[in-house]
Chain A
Amino acid sequence: MTEDSFTALMLLSTALFVVGLFGVLARRSILIQLLSLEVALAGPSLAFITAGARHADAGGQAMFVMILILAAAEVALGLALYLRLRRTADGTDSDSLSSLRH
């Protein structure tokens, strides 16, 4: 792997993470936030794979698989919570969920 491609891939992963972060912070809908979280997760996974390729270490690929599993579990849980919240509160406004007791 060349230096340039390494740098470019790292920049790409950073960009992915920032976009995802921005989405979580800027959007109020819970579904959109979950979506943004997925995008944000893509960033570090790409970074891990790039680093693994760079150092010819299979650990990067292993980390990617772990992140995948993590993302899957998190999405499952998140979607379940979203479905639940849609019933009791408005699912499009996460700001209204600001106190521990409703």
Chain B
Amino acid sequence: MEVFGLVLTYNHLLLTIPSIALAGFVMLGLDPFRLRDFEVRALALIGGVGPLIPMLVFANACFHGQCTGMVPIFTLKVGESTVALALQMDPLAALVGLTVCVIGAAVILFSVAYMQGTALPDLRRFFALMHLFLAGMLTMVLAGDSIVLFLGWELMGLCSYLLIAYNTTSAEAIRAGRKAFIMTRVADAFLLAALLLLFLEANSVRLDHLIPAGVAAQDGMRPIIAALLLGGAIGKSAQVPMHTWLPSAMAGPTPVSALLHSATMVAAGAVLLMRFSPIIQAEPVVMAIGAGLGALTAIFGAAAALFQQDIKRLLAYSSISQIGYMMLAIGVGAPEAAAAHFVVHAIFKSLLFLSAGHITHHSPRGTDIMAMRGASQRNPLAFLAFSAGAASLAGLPVITGGWWSKEAMLGAVWGVEPALWTVAVLAAVLTAAYATRAVLIAAMPDPGSHDGHADHDDSHDTGYTLVPLAFLGFGALLAGGLVEPIMHLLGAHVPHAPLFTILVASIAPLVGVAIAFALAYVPALANGLQRARDIARRTRRRPRRQDKPAGFWVRIALAFSRGLRIDTLYQIVFVWPFVKLVRWLNGYGRGVADPAGNLPAMAALRLQRAITAPFAPDWIDRTWTAFGGRILALWAALRRLQTGRARDHGLYMAAGTAGLLLLAWGLTWH
């Protein structure tokens, strides 16, 4: 049927997927009906879980080979180019979209209970923004053209800012949100440049035109476009070197971290690269850079996570590290393995965030890692879920989904670049180490309880909380079975990895577990960690000299817990000069505000002075002025004639008349 010149087919129901979430945003954000608490929660659920339903339908069709392909929405004419906006459903979109919908539904379900007790306007705002974010992410995933892709991309960035700064009275949260927005905006600029260049190459915005045009691009455009795409992905996915925003973004509420900063938004960069993989794969240099950065990020993130003192920051560095793995996989030419890991990672990372959030929800220590202690007694179900997620993260052999996807990636890397494979394996060891460490701490007894046994506290365990945790928990363990089907779906030819790599991939997590136990129970190491923790707490904002020289181990721990101070480095290199420049331009201190704006005025004044200077008081001037002065004296003298006396005036009259008569007489002479 035709509506507004658009031929509608069943495929256009694809539009409903983001539209449901968008409608949720509009209803909750504008609040035309003055909703009450119960209604807000209901709408939140509808908007959060709603997109899952059409998504299931379409994804199911796609997995069975019935992908709808491009669904045009409308077309614009810009000069001689046509801009056709479209959505699309292909295997990658179906896979990622389904994952996003499932995780989104789980998180929103969880947060309906988690956000209990917040004021109604804030609750509305929270869910409205979460819905807007979901709509943005789904739009980006389902995008069939670059404009819709970028729309979703930027919308996610905006929601990220507003959600990180959700607690609007916390200066730290606002600062973190701003930092995240600025850094991701830099990434957005790269992406926009890449998309516009592709548009110029292809003279169209449809992705199925852009990607071949990009592959066929001449004159050195292709490496530039590929590099720009990589830059955009790095910034959005918080990879080294643009990763510093993610740890501080943990200032936002836990559901925000669970949805945005673990599973969906940060993986958007990887999804972008998967989408544009033909272009990336045509440029070996860019691939190599991507792989190298991915490996570096993986090991750096894992090392930093190992020494974090805050559970959320630990999980943030973990996300950075895991996405590094995805980048590595893409960089060695196995985007399908990365896609599989994306799905599995989304499941266990959101599970970890949700369960950690639940455990530390009412703790006086906030999200400090030590607040996890006693979880096994207090919230056994949440602790189980957390352990399942941690096991999957660590990649315990065979029984967890994480092992399967990680093994797929490592297998792919081994085939291409053994050096990177070694780095990745080391990172896997560290990953298992920090995952186990978190579980060990959670299993430790809570020192603040009577005789070592914390009270069983399941007052906050509601259906809303438990269902997502359980679902995700099982998913984390069982998702291993999905890995091969996913890779087949995306068209990868999965070679049989050599036994050697499988063995290493199995042993590595166990080594990591051992390391974690060592860190917890070997006194030298454990005390070193404690010492580092104390120093970090004391010198939180202002580093000062330590009283006693710290040992090597303590220094390492401290350095990594601060993320190798890269954030501080960026502050010094980027932020501080910028702020100084802005202050100088605004005339702080004793400067002149807006120097360029003052230029015309100053130039005009200079010109005026230059013109009038030669004509400053000179002899002509002085003569005339003196003349004026003398006239005055003359007048003063002449005034004295005016006596007012009759006799004097009579004399003058007489003299005057006599003079005139003489004159007349004189004139009669010839």
Residues of A in contact with B (beta carbons under 8 Å apart): 21, 24-25, 28, 33, 94-95, 97-100
Contacts and interface: CB of A to CB of B under 8 A. Distances in A.
A98 B646 CA distance: 7
Contacts of B644: 97-100
Contact of B646 (A94, A99, A100): A94
B643 A25 contact: no
A15 to B, nearest CB: 15
Most chain B CB neighbours (cut-off 10 Å) among A28, A95, A97: A95
B654 A21 contact: yes
Contacts of B647: 24-25, 28, 33, 94-95
Contact of A97 (B645, B651, B654): B645
Contacts, number: 23
Given A97-B644, A97-B646, 8 more contacts: A24-B650, A25-B651, A33-B647, A94-B645, A94-B647, A95-B645, A95-B647, A97-B645
A95 B650 CA distance: 12
Contacts of A24: 647, 650
Interface in B618-670: 643-647, 650-651, 654
B594 to A, nearest CB: 64
B152 to A, nearest CB: 97
B643 A98 contact: yes
Nearest to A17: B654
Interface string B185-207: 00000000000000000000000
A21 B651 CA distance: 9
- The bracket for how many chain B residues form the interface is under 10
Nearest to A93: B645
Contacts of A25: 647, 650-651, 654
6 contacts: A28-B647, A95-B645, A95-B647, A97-B644, A97-B645, A99-B644
Nearest to A18: B654
Interface of B: 643-647, 650-651, 654
Nearest to A95: B645
Contact of A98 (B645, B650, B654): B645
Contacts of A99: 644
A24 B647 CA distance: 7
B658 to A, nearest CB: 10
A94 to B, nearest CB: 5
A25 B646 CA distance: 9
Contacts of A98: 643-645
A98 B643 CA distance: 6
Contacts of A33: 646-647
B652 to A, nearest CB: 10
Nearest to B658: A21
B65 to A, nearest CB: 123
A33 B650 CA distance: 11
Nearest to B649: A98
Nearest to B654: A21
Nearest to B644: A98
Sorted from nearest, which 6 A-B pairs have the closest CB atoms? A98-B644, A98-B645, A95-B645, A99-B644, A94-B646, A98-B643
A21 B650 CA distance: 9
Most chain B CB neighbours (cut-off 10 Å) among A25, A33, A97, A99: A25
Contacts of B654: 21, 25
Contacts of A95: 645, 647
A97 B644 CA distance: 7
A99 B643 CA distance: 8
B546 to A, nearest CB: 100
Most chain B CB neighbours (cut-off 10 Å) among A21, A97, A98, A99: A98
B491 to A, nearest CB: 120
A28 B650 CA distance: 12
B601 to A, nearest CB: 56
Nearest to A98: B644
Contacts of A100: 644
A100 B646 CA distance: 12
Contacts of B645: 94-95, 97-98
Contacts of A28: 647
A98 B650 CA distance: 13
Most chain A CB neighbours (cut-off 10 Å) among B646, B650, B651: B646
